[in-house]
Amino acid sequence: MEKFFKDKSKLFECNLSVDGASIGETSARLVLQFEDNTNLLYYATLDENGKCKINIPPIKNMNATKGKAVLEVIAESTFFESWSGDFELVASKKVVVEMVTQEKSKPVIKKPQVTFSKDHIKEFSKSLSENNITQSNIVIKKNYIRPLLEKYISENSLSKHDVNHILSNLTQCANYLEA
């Protein structure tokens, strides 16, 4: 079964041998007869050795995909149906898509439970208290907090997570100052 394409050209080739007539006075054509009675006609080029070439461009927008191909040869005004065979119209490329359905669900945010070897909030609060930083003057003395925190971090070899914990709970540190 011959295959022709919906999405690319095909070169149909064959060799013709003509007896009793000149190859120069010979022409050929390929007729694609689709099952829905649609016919497409393509003319061939012949060289002096009888090499027949027919360029079949992409065949788009056809409802039928199967039929019969017929090679017709006309040698010095005499008609010959020299070859015929079934054909199929196919795509040279194929894409398969598999849909993945996703269930809609609300995102769940899990807050990890973190345990600290030491209660750094209470300890840092003591450092603030020793430097006369209270809940009432913490905003005024905010420039003193950073050096104290840097010192506390270096003395206690705190991880980035411990530092973030202290910074996010700085108001809690201030509450310990008044207690």
**pLDDT tens, residue by residue, 89-104:** 998 888 888 888 777 7
Mean pLDDT of the chain: 84
From the list 57, 80, 52, the residue with the least C-alpha distance to 10 is: 57
44 touches 60 (CB < 8 A): no
* 73 shares its domain with 142: no
The average pLDDT across 38-63 equals 93
Q: 134: which 2 tokens?
A: 């209270």
Q: What are phi and psi of 52, to 5 degrees?
A: -105, 125
**Is there a domain that residue 82 lies in?**
yes
> What's the CATH code of the domain at 62?
2.60.40.10
Average pLDDT over residues 116-126: 71
Q: Are residues 128 and 84 in the same domain?
A: no
Provide the residue range defining the domain that includes 82.
2-90
The yes-or-no verdict on residue 31 having pLDDT over 80 is yes
Q: Is residue 61 part of a domain?
A: yes
Distance of CA 23 to the CA centre of its chain: 53
Number of domains in the chain: 2
